[in-house]
Amino acid sequence: MSVDAATVRRIAHLARIAVTEAEVPHLQGELNTMLAFVEQLSEVNIDGVEPMTSVTPMEMKKRQDVVNDGEIPDDIVRNAPETQNHFFLVPKVVE
């Protein structure tokens, strides 16, 4: 499996990472090196093998349905570049 230049641009866009035209060939090379490395795994026969979800046999922990978090709006917006009345403000996303 390998990616072409168009795929690199598309992935960058989906992740909202600005990639200049000049950077594309370099990134394409890096991605393809990684893919080729991972590709070696396909040599292993995994017919009938369940995907491993955890290295230790354990069940997912569950929470009780209690409200014990939140009510910290100051903390929530503390790092935001722009806020108003505890709202995050972001560049307008609809016209």
SS3 84: strand
Q: How far is the CB of 80 from another protein (least distance, A)?
A: 9
Q: For residues 90 and 6, give the distance between their C-alpha atoms in angstroms, rounded to a whole number.
A: 29
- Smallest distance, Å, CB 56 to another protein? 10
Q: Tell me if residue 1 falls in helix, strand or coil.
A: coil
Q: Please, what is the minimum distance in Å from the beta carbon of residue 95 to another protein?
A: 8
List of residues contacting another protein (CB under 8 A): 10, 14-16, 51, 53-54, 58-73, 75-77, 82, 84-94
Which is nearer to another protein, 42 or 84 (by Cβ)? 84
